[in-house]
Structure 1
Amino acid sequence: MSNPVYGKKTAASRKGETRSALFWVLISGIILFLAWTPFQTALFNGQMLEFEKPIFWAAILACLLIFLWIAHSYKSIQLKDQRDGLAVGVLLLPLTYILSLISAVSHVLAMNMVIINCIYAIMFIIGLYVLRDKLGNGIIQSTIMAVAYLIVGFGLLHWFGQGKTAGAIAKWFSNTVLNGTYTHAVMIDSNGLRLTSVFQYANTYAAFLMAFLFAAVFFVTTSRKWYGQAFHSFMLVPIIVSLLLTLSRGGLVMLPVVFVLLLLFLKPAKQLLWILYCGIAGVTSLIISKPVTELGLSLNEAFSSSAALKGWGILLGTSAVVGLLGWVMQSFIAPKLEQALGSWSFKKTSNLWIPLGSVIIGGLLIILFIGTGLKNILPQSISVRLENINFNQHSVLERFTFYKDAMKVLADYPIIGAGGGAWASLYEQYQNNPYTSRQAHNFFLQYLIEVGIVGFLIFMSFILYTFYKYIRGYIKGSEEERNSHFLYLIIVLSILIHSILDFNLSYVFMGILVFLGLGGMAAVMDNKPVKKWSVKDSTARGTYSIIVGLCAILVMITSIRYVQAADSGMEARGVVQVSTSFEEIKAPLDKDLSIRPSHPDSVLLTAALYQSVFKQNQDENFYDASVALLNKALKDEPYNKSMLKSLIESYEMKQEPERAYEVLTNNAHKFKWDIKWYEKIINKGYDLGTNALGTGDTEAKDKYFKQATKAFTDVQAGIQHLNTLPEGQFQGNPFENTPDMILHAGKMYFMMNQPEQAAKALKLGIQEDLSQTTQQEIVRWYLAALQKQNLSDDALMGKLTQVDPNAKQNVQQLADLQF
């Protein structure tokens, strides 16, 4: 390798180790803090305030970190080689998000993503430079592993019903502890209980566990101390058991893929050791998975200290056995393997055969577990999930739908994208069926629609170049140099591969791990000087430091202001719970909106406050203030359904149904699978049309009736489309005709002198039971529409007569109406 990982220590550098250690400890502390706040980035339509604040604090800490780094490592900044070029290139990533603000469909979410990508850029730069230092690299790696193991233990505490104990620890540095328990550390969905630990989402926790399973195996095989080998071996069982308890099919599918890719980097002896450790830990984990699962399920229903103790006993006892085996194998078997396979390791294709063999063996194991009685050793919840791994399964079909819909978004925002949070804002407009998913479940596609082709090409070039140069350096490096930063490859590869199927990088903590890992990979990449750069060291150092420093100052100031805004927004929500004073509630809201004028949470609360006062005293100033505020915010957040609904409510309060209806119809294309939106268009269109008919305004009547019946036609087309979905794919949210919708559509067709269309629409709502008034009216208008066509339905007329003796007379009166 042209640049060794660690050079010889001079006397001056040894004197500075204490100061450096404090710097590395500070970085480690920040990582530890962020681990317990795995906030998502793309929440939308409410409750954003409580999730955003940690993001801004993370940005403030990152900026402080870059200032300290510039002060600490100023002389080491030399923009001379390819590695330093990445320090410049990473700045393009937040720049592409800034560029996407031009066409951003949500200004608030887009600004959040700008700040988040600034955090990532800072973590990469820090990693690129500080992880070249042996002491710093050791401290950071130890911190990362310690945090990972703590997260595993934290999750298992919740699984064994000890959430109160875990919550008492986490409440000091996390805002997700409610009623003494960390929220959703064990989530519930249609599959039952699923372990999530701090992530509150099982699939992302599975990606995290996959990365640190391989990291633990790596440290077992590279630790020189017996206690290091034993401890990392000990942790293999808790990690694998936790992975099984997530019930993540994506994790189980991607785990062998990442495993085989990582094996390709190892010599045959290490490959066999990895397989042995994973095999031993995997088998023992499967053996205890059934009692551990059953105990956890019962403990989450009703806690029992004896049952919890039994669960911990099984888990820790098994882990201790595996830990002991790991130490024995590493002490006695590993050296013999190295010696026996030493000559084979020098052959060119020696590292290919074992991975290929593991693929075949892995395939056979999958067939055995899915297709034979061997699956009976597993808990039912896990065996059912394994059985459902196929391309016709709901979640697979749904993901393919997300990906197709994402490409529709890209077609409309191809060059610079639709800004941060684009999927969360836009997916309802482009979705194929009425699912609910504010994540595209593919990081790369989500990134693509946010920053467009330009930004995506820059990002992928950055990622692929880092991998390419790292691999070249890895091939040329010594054993010590390879091992020094291999942890970062494990983390980055595991999380990115799993992110093909899920939204792991919508968790800022996961993103920080990835970009810190990329920095660690770049720190030891195959490196060459860039001859074209002829700028003096002092000039390059000063220019780069000034640019980065000024950007960090700007980000820090913005983040501080956003923290103040978030605090004010949260304060207003708190005041609402205890006070009805207009002034007390509005004061903190004004402060938030003065900083972020279109923030949805505060805009909605302020508008609701204005509306409440208007209802009380009918002062039109409050009505005008509500409408003005909402219209202004909607310029930045045009796809925010809650704001649009609030604007409609304002118009309706003021008895301006025409303006409310205009909002409904103008924005219908944004929510094309929201049956309630369509129902409002149809029902309100009928009301407005009949009112216009009553005043003799036939032009207005036709306008409203045509808009409403078009919406009804769109609903029928949508229902027909849903019938074409693959058998294994769920429809999603309800999307079907309602009696009121059918009745009003039929009546409008009737009043537009379209009896055939009226009969066709009304027939959709005819039921056997005619006891309900609405059902009777549907049949009455249907028979009248038939009569208009000189047709009849005697059987149906007879049924109607049973509940309405005057049915024939009423139907005749309707048929005689002229419009």
Structure 2
Amino acid sequence: MKKAIATLMILVISVSPLFRGLYFELEAYAFLAVLALLSVVYLFTKLANREAMRFHKWILVFGVCLIAAYILSFAKAVSIRDNITSLIQISTYLLVSIILYDYYHDKKRLFGQTLMLFTVIAGFINAILGIEALSGAFESLNYTLIYMRVGGMFQYANTAAVYFMICVVFSIALIHSVKSILLKLMLSGMGNIAFLALLLTSSRGGFLVGIAVFLLMWALQPKGYRLKYVCSFVCTVVPAFLFIGRIITLGGSRDYISIAKWMAVSFMAAVILSLIYGVVSSLLSGAKASIRNGLAVVCLVGFLAVAAVIVLNHGITAILPGNIIMRFQTLGLQDRNIILRLTYFRDALKLISSNWLLGLGGGGWYSLYQSVQDMFYVARTVHNHYLQVFVEAGILGFISFLAIILLSLINMFYSLINQKDDTERIMLTGIFCGFLALVLHSSFDFNLSYVSMALLLWTFVAGSAVCLSEKSTANAGTVLQTISFRSNAAKLAVIVACSALFSVSGLFTASAYYADRGFNSLLRKDYVTSGTYYLKASHLDPLNPVYHFQLAKVYYNYSKRSADPIQVEGWRRTAIKEAEQSVLLNPCYPEYREILAFICYESDQPLKALENAEKLIELQPLKNSNYELLAKCYLKSAEYYRNNNNMDKCREMLIRCSQVDQLPKVTADETIMEYKHQALALLKSF
């Protein structure tokens, strides 16, 4: 039973990237609920069998500290609901890590092979879907592309790049870790398609991390396997370089059959090359090692010579498409993407400097980053997960998360240098390099904002402790300290926590389902259906400000479509109520303030509109339309005070309206200047 649950957990984690990477709430909560349920069943099994639970002491300590940091951040959290989300995610990640370690702590090889095989198969499917999207024949896959860059089911090329890189690393590691010849050949083919998808992401950061990781993987191979690694790598990736140009030329052609054909050709070429290599290796198995290595070196040198001749005669575009080369030619400190990332990091440090102790809670960055930016941009994440955690959970969260990562890397390193079995060392090298790729790439992108990638990271964390053998434990000293507990009360407490996670995740899944239906109806401008679904979602998840925000927009549209003045007033009152609720639940998110100010303005509530428009300027000072809204609110407030015979306040409002164009970060456009002239004209009448 325990084996089935642990295997199913790894399977669930492995296939999760196929569901939009679990970036969106509907899929994310559904998978978290499934994992929480599996955890409950596993723990009940342990309880019934009166077995002890085991885990790495320090990873558990720092994991609990990370959870504690998010709990403490409620004190200053800008959004209670978003912080609950972060708390659920972190708790589930740690729980999954504990259970995987508990089962696999003495099954190192089984853990590695199960994780890598499931990941490679899922990555193979993901790569096929991503590459086929290039044809444009499948409308449902168009969202996976950004400027003809393959994003896979992540819908984002950079995260897809590091994911496909991990799949290639795993496939090559498995080729030298499994005995089945057929499986070796299939792994070579699947690794080839994953590498092809990696190239088609055109991710410069992914390529740079990939080069470093593939070289490190070569360096960490056991004695006598480095040349084998190079040969397997060449057999796997060379066909991708040969046929990538054919696939790129079919982009947008709607000819998905031809793309499938070239993928099949590339797959079979990798299989055939691997088969030839395997046959030659078998024939030379009786020869001296020096002869075998000499022949292999001659073949590799010959291959490199041919590649060099091709490049010299036809240019680098003979093996790499022009669009990939162009992306590298623009790489530099003046590159827009690098400038933007450095800007994100700088603004994150601004938020950290004033909230370093407790953080701003989950959602703290995307709620407040526009209040500190010096150039306008839109970024839902910091694009650096370590800084993201610092912004959200403060110094304790940052130190705890960083400690978990570093401790896991140390565990894997000790395991590698002390591992005597060649097969296990190759497998551990694959896990270590995959983990390192994800850790490095997440320092300049938001991979870990995808729940699927975060689950993979925490599976690596569990694997870092699993990978430590008894021999490495002795040499590592205090690196590995496994703790165990048999207390039924402790197990029941964890079961209660798991049940709570399952219940809340299940509830949020249901609300996210209704919200998804409501959003799709909103896109079709079916406001009645949309309102019905969002109302159901808000009843299930009343703390979610997004649902109240969407209901405010729906009810405002009801008012626009009604001809009855009484109904119009009623719908606008309801819209204001929902908008106020969204602001109450997250007072720092600019869009909530904007919709509230706008609806109040349209509903002849100028003072309330002005109050929120002024707050909006603090939260989003670089968006020029906010200043237009502010100027309108000043004019309407002036009219309100004039009608109530408060001429001093009327004059004050008009003066403020005439000075909007002088505010520090405004760009005085025609609309703002028009409001200014209106205010100045009215001031002359005083």
- TM-score range (shorter-chain normalised) is 0.7 to 0.9
Aligned AA (1:667): L
Partner of 2:447: 504
Find the partner of 1:234 among 182, 186, 189.
189
Partner of 2:134: 159
1:320 partnered with 2:271: yes
Find the partner of 2:433 among 490, 497, 510.
490
1:676 partnered with 2:612: no
Find the partner of 1:517 among 460, 475, 486.
460
1:119 partnered with 2:97: no
Partner of 2:552: 607
Which structure would you say has the larger Rg? 1
Provide the rounded CA distance (Å) in 1 between the counterparts of 2:611 and 2:7. 59
Q: Would the alpha carbon gap of residues 228 and 644 (structure 1) be closer, same or farther in structure 2, given more than 3 Å must change? A: same
Deviations 1:689-712 (A, max 9, x none): 477679985532453245435542
Partner of 1:405: 347
Q: Would the alpha carbon gap of residues 612 and 149 (structure 1) be closer, same or farther in structure 2, given more than 3 Å must change? A: closer
Following superposition, the deviation at residue 326 of structure 1 comes to 4.4
Partner of 2:13: 31
Following superposition, the deviation at residue 218 of structure 1 comes to 1.5
* Local SS of the residue matching 1:254: helix
1:424 partnered with 2:366: yes
Partner of 1:786: none
Contact 2:2–2:103 (8 Å) recurs in 1: no
Following superposition, the deviation at residue 224 of structure 1 comes to 2.8
Provide the rounded CA distance (Å) in 1 between the counterparts of 2:275 and 2:137. 27
Q: Would the alpha carbon gap of residues 395 and 562 (structure 1) be closer, same or farther in structure 2, given more than 3 Å must change? A: same
Partner of 2:76: 103
Q: How does 1:332-343 map to 2 (within 5 A)?
A: none
Aligned AA (1:406): A
Task: Out of 417-426 and 522-531, give the one that drifted further.
Answer: 522-531
Partner of 1:618: 566
Deviations 1:87-139 (A, max 9, x none): 45433333322322222222332222222212211221122122233556544
Provide the rounded CA distance (Å) in 2 between the counterparts of 1:205 and 1:119. 23
Contact 2:76–2:358 (8 Å) recurs in 1: yes
Q: Would the alpha carbon gap of residues 696 and 459 (structure 1) be closer, same or farther in structure 2, given more than 3 Å must change? A: same
Partner of 2:153: 198
Gaps of 5+ in 1: 1-18, 42-50, 164-178, 343-361, 720-735, 753-816
Task: Out of 25-34 and 518-527, give the one that drifted further.
Answer: 25-34
Q: How does 1:785-796 map to 2 (within 5 A)?
A: none
Following superposition, the deviation at residue 686 of structure 1 comes to 4.5
Deviations 1:229-282 (A, max 9, x none): 322223343222211111111111211222334344323533343344434544
Number of paired residues? 659
1:223 partnered with 2:178: yes
Contact 1:216–1:232 (8 Å) recurs in 2: yes
* Local SS of the residue matching 2:337: helix
* Local SS of the residue matching 2:146: strand
Provide the rounded CA distance (Å) in 2 between the counterparts of 1:146 and 1:467. 25
Q: Would the alpha carbon gap of residues 210 and 635 (structure 1) be closer, same or farther in structure 2, given more than 3 Å must change? A: same
Provide the rounded CA distance (Å) in 2 between the counterparts of 1:621 and 1:703. 32
Q: Would the alpha carbon gap of residues 446 and 438 (structure 1) be closer, same or farther in structure 2, given more than 3 Å must change? A: same
Partner of 1:592: 537
Q: CA RMSD in A?
A: 3.8
Aligned AA (2:214): F
Contact 1:94–1:121 (8 Å) recurs in 2: no
Q: Would the alpha carbon gap of residues 284 and 262 (structure 1) be closer, same or farther in structure 2, given more than 3 Å must change? A: same
Deviations 1:390-440 (A, max 9, x none): 222111111111111111111222112111122222222122211122122
Following superposition, the deviation at residue 223 of structure 1 comes to 3.0
Aligned AA (2:278): W
Contact 2:610–2:633 (8 Å) recurs in 1: yes
Q: How does 1:350-389 map to 2 (within 5 A)?
A: 373-375=315-317, 377-389=319-331
Partner of 2:254: 302
Deviations 1:12-43 (A, max 9, x none): xxxxxxx45433442244235523213455xx
Aligned AA (1:426): L
Contact 1:661–1:684 (8 Å) recurs in 2: yes
Contact 1:639–1:670 (8 Å) recurs in 2: yes
Following superposition, the deviation at residue 652 of structure 1 comes to 2.4
Provide the rounded CA distance (Å) in 2 between the counterparts of 1:482 and 1:336. 25
Provide the rounded CA distance (Å) in 1 between the counterparts of 2:333 and 2:524. 52
* Local SS of the residue matching 2:149: strand
* Local SS of the residue matching 1:269: coil
Find the partner of 1:538 among 474, 486, 489.
486
1:548 partnered with 2:494: yes
Provide the rounded CA distance (Å) in 1 between the counterparts of 2:380 and 2:85. 16
Following superposition, the deviation at residue 336 of structure 1 comes to 7.5
Task: Out of 253-262 and 682-691, give the one that drifted further.
Answer: 682-691
Q: Would the alpha carbon gap of residues 336 and 246 (structure 1) be closer, same or farther in structure 2, given more than 3 Å must change? A: farther
Contact 2:545–2:583 (8 Å) recurs in 1: no
Following superposition, the deviation at residue 566 of structure 1 comes to 2.8
Q: Would the alpha carbon gap of residues 313 and 602 (structure 1) be closer, same or farther in structure 2, given more than 3 Å must change? A: closer
Partner of 2:200: 245
Gaps of 5+ in 2: 294-303
Provide the rounded CA distance (Å) in 1 between the counterparts of 2:239 and 2:484. 60
Find the partner of 1:704 among 648, 653, 656.
653
Deviations 1:113-170 (A, max 9, x none): 222212211221122122233556544443222222222233233335564xxxxxxx
Following superposition, the deviation at residue 205 of structure 1 comes to 0.5
Following superposition, the deviation at residue 664 of structure 1 comes to 0.5
Contact 2:548–2:581 (8 Å) recurs in 1: no
Partner of 1:83: 56
Following superposition, the deviation at residue 214 of structure 1 comes to 1.6
* Local SS of the residue matching 2:274: helix
Aligned AA (2:431): Y
Q: How does 1:586-735 map to 2 (within 5 A)?
A: 589-611=534-556, 616-618=564-566, 622-686=571-635, 688-689=637-638, 699-714=648-663, 717-718=664-665
Following superposition, the deviation at residue 451 of structure 1 comes to 0.9
Q: Would the alpha carbon gap of residues 450 and 395 (structure 1) be closer, same or farther in structure 2, given more than 3 Å must change? A: same
Contact 2:609–2:633 (8 Å) recurs in 1: no
Provide the rounded CA distance (Å) in 1 between the counterparts of 2:448 and 2:256. 37
Q: Would the alpha carbon gap of residues 329 and 224 (structure 1) be closer, same or farther in structure 2, given more than 3 Å must change? A: farther
Q: Would the alpha carbon gap of residues 575 and 466 (structure 1) be closer, same or farther in structure 2, given more than 3 Å must change? A: closer
Provide the rounded CA distance (Å) in 2 between the counterparts of 1:535 and 1:289. 50
Provide the rounded CA distance (Å) in 2 between the counterparts of 1:304 and 1:145. 23
Contact 2:616–2:626 (8 Å) recurs in 1: no
Provide the rounded CA distance (Å) in 2 between the counterparts of 1:309 and 1:554. 45
Contact 1:576–1:585 (8 Å) recurs in 2: yes
Q: Would the alpha carbon gap of residues 466 and 585 (structure 1) be closer, same or farther in structure 2, given more than 3 Å must change? A: closer
The alignment's TM-score, normalised by the length of structure 1, stands at 0.72
Find the partner of 2:510 among 564, 568, 574.
564
Contact 2:151–2:160 (8 Å) recurs in 1: yes
Aligned AA (1:502): D
Q: Would the alpha carbon gap of residues 431 and 141 (structure 1) be closer, same or farther in structure 2, given more than 3 Å must change? A: same
* Local SS of the residue matching 1:118: helix
Provide the rounded CA distance (Å) in 2 between the counterparts of 1:266 and 1:482. 7
Provide the rounded CA distance (Å) in 2 between the counterparts of 1:424 and 1:668. 16
Aligned AA (2:165): M
Partner of 1:188: 146
Q: Which has the higher helix share?
A: 2
* Local SS of the residue matching 1:597: coil
Find the partner of 2:67 among 80, 94, 106.
94
Provide the rounded CA distance (Å) in 2 between the counterparts of 1:284 and 1:141. 22
Provide the rounded CA distance (Å) in 2 between the counterparts of 1:218 and 1:487. 5
Aligned AA (1:301): S
Q: How does 1:799-814 map to 2 (within 5 A)?
A: none
Aligned identity (percent) is 18
Provide the rounded CA distance (Å) in 2 between the counterparts of 1:154 and 1:652. 47
Contact 1:229–1:327 (8 Å) recurs in 2: no
